[in-house]
Amino acid sequence: MLKLGVNIDHVATLREARYRGRGRGEPDPVAAAMQCEAAGALGITAHLREDRRHIQDRDVWQLREVVQTRLNLEMANLPEMVTLALKLKPEIVCLVPERRREVTTEGGLNAARAIRTLTETRKKLNGAGIEVSLFIAPDARQVKAAARIGAQFVELHTGAFAENYFAKAARNEELERLIAAARLAHDTGLKVNAGHGLNYTNLPLLHLVPHLVELNIGHAIVSRAVTAGLGHAVKEMLVLMRKYPG
């Protein structure tokens, strides 16, 4: 069965837009994580960025306390983050590239250029009982580097596939890249996850990619929740307003 990991970063983004630096606020990404698990998600993903633009330290510690399925901590390969992960002990860490000016993670990790440092981090995390995934482009060189590093998983970056979904030739080319990368990863002993830009429209076509274990999806689910759940929220507010005595 293909597993769903829900990325709750965008819930935290909405909270930080109003409550930045206050140590509280709504919506609560931890509460959102619990609702996702109750609905059937088999994993929760949170990216603790160096600049703390959305997920905060308190969030990941609270998530560690309440997540019952699988906590996937996305992070850059930085000493501060490695130290935190070793204390937090999520089930899995996904190492990702991180650029200050990007809105969201724009590309895959260049694992082939950082084999030594990534291997050192992988060994530390594995030594603490934490599995390691590398967020990479669907590229043979990067897949082979991930295998050499000793990662347990790769997460194939599906952004180019998603961006080109409505341009058939380009979409099919990206789909073939994903298929080839997934096969290569599987053949080298890596487990295969995928994510970035997946939504309710493009997901069915991704079923052509073999050996997938888990999809990590965030923005599409949070966006759908805004509309699919908005009517209920308005009705609840109207119930409260009916008590106005004027």
> Taking 80 as the threshold, does the pLDDT of residue 107 lie above it?
no
Strands (E), 120-245: 131-136, 153-157, 191-195, 212-217
Give me the mean pLDDT over the 26-46 stretch: 96
- Is the pLDDT at 101 greater than 70? The verdict is no
Is this model's pTM higher than 0.75 or not?
A: yes
Torsion of CA 71, 61, 50, 197, to 10 degrees: 30
Q: Which domains does the chain have, with CATH numbers?
A: 3-241 (3.20.20.70)
Q: Is 47 a catalytic residue?
A: yes
pLDDT at 241: 76
pLDDT higher than 60, residue 110: yes
More confident site: 122 or 246: 122
| Polymer length of the chain | 246
The confidence score (pLDDT) of residue 231 equals 84
Both tokens of 15, joined, read 């909270």
Task: Look at residue 112 and tell me whether its pLDDT is greater than 60.
Answer: yes
Query: Given 16, 37, 74, 174, which residue is catalytic?
Result: 74
State the pLDDT at residue 102. Answer: 53
12 class by beta-carbon count within 10 Å (0-12 exposed, 13-18 middle, 19+ buried)? buried
Instruction: Write down the catalytic residue from 54, 174, 196, 214.
Output: 196
pLDDT tens digits, one per residue of 170-192: 999 999 999 999 999 999 999 99
pLDDT at 244: 65
* pLDDT value for 62: 98
Q: What is the mean pLDDT of residues 109-136?
A: 98
How confident is the model over 29-51, as a mean pLDDT?
Answer: 96
Inform me whether the pLDDT recorded for 109 exceeds 70.
yes
Residue 93: the pLDDT is 98
Lowest mean pLDDT among 36-50, 153-167, 170-184, 223-237: 223-237
C-alpha 19/C-alpha 2 separation (Å) is 36
Q: Is residue 104 over pLDDT 80?
A: no
Residue bearing the bigger pLDDT, 241 or 218: 218
Residue 218 — pLDDT band, cuts 50, 70, 90?
Answer: very high
State the chain's mean pLDDT as an integer.
94
Split at pLDDT 50, 70, 90, the class of 140 is very high
Catalytic annotation, pick one of 16, 37, 47, 157: 47
Q: Annotated catalytic, 196?
A: yes
Tell me if residue 74 is catalytic: yes
Question: Is the confidence at residue 103, as pLDDT, over 80?
Answer: no
